[in-house]
Amino acid sequence: MSAEERAEALIDERELAAALRGLVPDPEAFRAGVERRIRAAREAQAAGDEREVRAADGVWWRRAAAWLPGELVPGSLAATGAKLSWKALPGLLVLPALTFAMLVMPLFVALGTLTGSGARAQQREAAVRSWWHEHKGVALWVLALIGLLFLRQPASAGVALLLCSTAVLALLLARLRAAGFARRAEVGRRCAHLLMALAFWMAVFGGPWRTLFPDERAARLAFSALALGGVVCAWVALREDYGSLWRLLTRSNGEDAALLLTLALLAPWSASLLWGSFADERDLDDQARHVEALSPEGFDGWDHARKATVWLRNEGVEPELARLRSYWRERRSDDDGTAGLLAAGIELGFVGSEELAALAADARPLLREEGPIQGASLRERADLLALVRAGGLGEEERDVLARRLLASREAGAQPWRIQRFATVVALLDELGRTGLAGELRTEAHALLRECWVPPRLVTGRSSGFIARPWHPDSQAFVPHTHDAIDLMLRFGVPDGIDLVAVLRGLERDGRHGARTGPELGWEASLALAKLERGLLPEPGPLGLVSANRVLLAILVLAGFCIAATLRAPREPRTASPSGGTT
């Protein structure tokens, strides 16, 4: 089909503009309308008039809503910023208000019973136990609710858990303080243990934790807040009791020695564990640097280099490929038999025009045949790529090649179905047969739906795509998900595909470097970058706050621990026989 014929297949742009003419605003009237609104808003603001409820007035509510588990917020509150009656606040806060927790309670009971002996320790234990007896019913209900929430919305459940922990800590400290036990050294120790335990769990069980954060930076910041908060609390507590480092080292008891050991060894080890497991390279510059440092091996290695470079170029970033080019020449001169080496070189522009023309001339027999073209993904066919890239094909020859490409869609092995399809579409585009490629949209959507692996809440399997969905428990596979994203970038997202689930699946697979291997980890990060930049809408301010709500809850918890430690009295108060303080 010629360019003219392709144009005829589309509705005329002038007709479209005419059909939408009724929407064209009059610039002057529009500007006057905007200015009138700005004036009215300023006047209302000056007069303190709150009757005109618009979204801007709901900003605090929207911020509050972003903090709370989404399931507890009325449907459109977060999105519209509408004003909400203050009467609804207790309803929204019912879960955090009812909370008693699973993190703090066992820790306090265990440590409270382990440390110290005698009447004072028994009194302290009695205070904690009476607190628990009063609240355990509600605590268990809240635990069950949060557990159920975890199955649906892990991030919201994480926020609820952390807020619950903060509230429990506050309540418990208040009770202990009222009973005369909350002196600064003790509060500081408990807070340090709690924060360091959370930081340690975060590093060791990185996967589940990090799915709660939008990116590595947030995860790092959360860990740092926990560890730093723990260090501050511990330092204040130990300084209170020992005064100097020498006294601390020579006279500390078992519990304090354990705390010191935690600070000295566990925190740095946890940090190195956490930092070492990051393989996220969604930033364009990171991806470019990665490509520039590559020494690809095998077809997969060269294929990854090709995919990343092509995408970076589409995004307007030109990586410096001198090193990769030299490495490629070296491998080529070694007569490396790697499938796809030459094809990757053609795509990356490492093959000179003369050599390309020679390759294209050798490949012309392809034009004298009919039927599907052999090859797994077609991208490894250097002759095919040379023909397409060298140019100089006549219209009829392009038609022959287009026919053969269309016939090749389903002619390869199952594992290559999605990549083969994406390759056919890309090559049709390169041949100038965009119309033909566009007609494959329905088929592409059907293929994507067929290969879609939806998330499983109970088993927690990764969501994404696999070219061979043989049975219901098939797991998503990163390269197939990557190819599927390429197809969605070209044809749009079919109904029924949950992009956020794809994002979570890729994050999960990409971050489990030990399980998936570094190459798959990198491919996952590339696919993530494509997904985030090309398909997922950019989050607004509310979206950012909502995405980082677990981080914010951690910051609140750490901040609260530090504040509670610093505000606790320095000297113990004496408990009166009636349970009050003197």
Partner 1 sequence: MDLERLLATWRGPLVGLLAAWGARPSEAHELAEDVFAQAWLARTRFDGDPADERRVGAWLRGIARNLFLAAQRERRRGASATRPDEARVDPPCEPDGRLGALRAALDELEPELREALYVRYVEGTSLAAVAALLGIGERAAEGRLYRGRQLLKEHIERSMGQREVRR
Question: Out of 298, 454, 455, 534, which residue is the one contacting partner 1 (CB under 8 A)?
Answer: 534
**Should residue 499 be labelled a site residue for partner 1 when binding is judged by CB under 8 A?**
no
Gap between the Cα atoms of 195 and 228, Å rounded: 9
Gap between the Cα atoms of 318 and 406, Å rounded: 32
Using CB under 8 A as the binding rule, the residues of this chain from 468 to 497 that contact partner 1 are 489-493
Minimum distance, C-beta of residue 493 to partner 1, in the bound complex (Å):
8
Gap between the Cα atoms of 408 and 284, Å rounded: 33
293 DSSP assignment = T
SS3 (DSSP) at 575? strand
211 DSSP assignment = T
Question: Out of 458, 537, 570, 582, which residue is the one contacting partner 1 (CB under 8 A)?
Answer: 537
**Should residue 542 be labelled a site residue for partner 1 when binding is judged by CB under 8 A?**
yes
**Should residue 25 be labelled a site residue for partner 1 when binding is judged by CB under 8 A?**
yes
Using CB under 8 A as the binding rule, the residues of this chain from 201 to 230 that contact partner 1 are none
**Should residue 434 be labelled a site residue for partner 1 when binding is judged by CB under 8 A?**
yes
Scan for tokens 């990757």, then name that residue.
Answer: 344
Question: Out of 76, 117, 244, 574, which residue is the one contacting partner 1 (CB under 8 A)?
Answer: 76
Nearest to 448 by CA among 389, 496, 385, 503: 496
Minimum distance, C-beta of residue 482 to partner 1, in the bound complex (Å):
16
Q: Are 74 and 64 in contact (CB under 8 A)?
A: no
- Separation of first and last alpha carbons in the chain: 94
What sign results for the dihedral spanned by CA atoms 422, 425, 429, 435?
negative
Minimum distance, C-beta of residue 203 to partner 1, in the bound complex (Å):
31
Q: Contacts from 452-461 at CB under 8 Å and sequence distance 24+?
A: 452/496, 452/497, 453/505, 454/498, 454/501, 455/498, 455/501, 455/504, 455/505, 457/151, 457/152, 458/151
Gap between the Cα atoms of 194 and 207, Å rounded: 20
Minimum distance, C-beta of residue 82 to partner 1, in the bound complex (Å):
6
Q: What tokens appear for 179 in the block? A: 């009973």
Question: Out of 93, 284, 501, 536, which residue is the one contacting partner 1 (CB under 8 A)?
Answer: 536
Using CB under 8 A as the binding rule, the residues of this chain from 83 to 142 that contact partner 1 are none
With respect to partner 1, which residue has the nearer C-beta, 75 or 352? 75
**Should residue 63 be labelled a site residue for partner 1 when binding is judged by CB under 8 A?**
no
**Should residue 11 be labelled a site residue for partner 1 when binding is judged by CB under 8 A?**
yes
Rg of the Cα atoms in the chain: 31
Minimum distance, C-beta of residue 532 to partner 1, in the bound complex (Å):
10
Minimum distance, C-beta of residue 441 to partner 1, in the bound complex (Å):
6
Query: Which of the ranges 72-80, 224-232, 284-292, 345-353 carries the binding residues for partner 1, by CB under 8 A?
Result: 72-80
Minimum distance, C-beta of residue 80 to partner 1, in the bound complex (Å):
4
Q: Are 484 and 465 in contact (CB under 8 A)?
A: yes
Q: What tokens appear for 232 in the block? A: 């501050």
**Should residue 170 be labelled a site residue for partner 1 when binding is judged by CB under 8 A?**
no
φ, ψ for residue 118, nearest 5 deg: 90, -170
With respect to partner 1, which residue has the nearer C-beta, 274 or 497? 497
Q: Count of residues binding partner 1 (CB under 8 A)?
A: 53
Question: Out of 23, 46, 458, 514, which residue is the one contacting partner 1 (CB under 8 A)?
Answer: 23
Minimum distance, C-beta of residue 83 to partner 1, in the bound complex (Å):
10
Query: Which of the ranges 32-40, 212-220, 367-375, 395-403 carries the binding residues for partner 1, by CB under 8 A?
Result: 32-40
With respect to partner 1, which residue has the nearer C-beta, 271 or 317? 317
Q: What tokens appear for 61 in the block? A: 């509510």
Query: Which of the ranges 105-113, 178-186, 252-260, 532-540 carries the binding residues for partner 1, by CB under 8 A?
Result: 532-540
Minimum distance, C-beta of residue 427 to partner 1, in the bound complex (Å):
16
Q: Which residues contact 344 (CB under 8 A, 6 or more apart)?
A: 296, 302, 303, 305, 306, 328
Site string for partner 1, 295-334 (x = CB under 8 A): -------------------xx-------------------
Q: What tokens appear for 172 in the block? A: 């418990």
Residue 551: count of CB within 10 angstroms of its CB: 23
φ, ψ for residue 181, nearest 5 deg: -110, -10
Q: What is the binding site for partner 1 (CB under 8 A)?
A: 9-11, 13, 15-25, 27, 30-31, 33-34, 37-38, 41-42, 54-56, 76, 79-82, 314-315, 434-435, 438, 441, 489-493, 533-538, 540-543
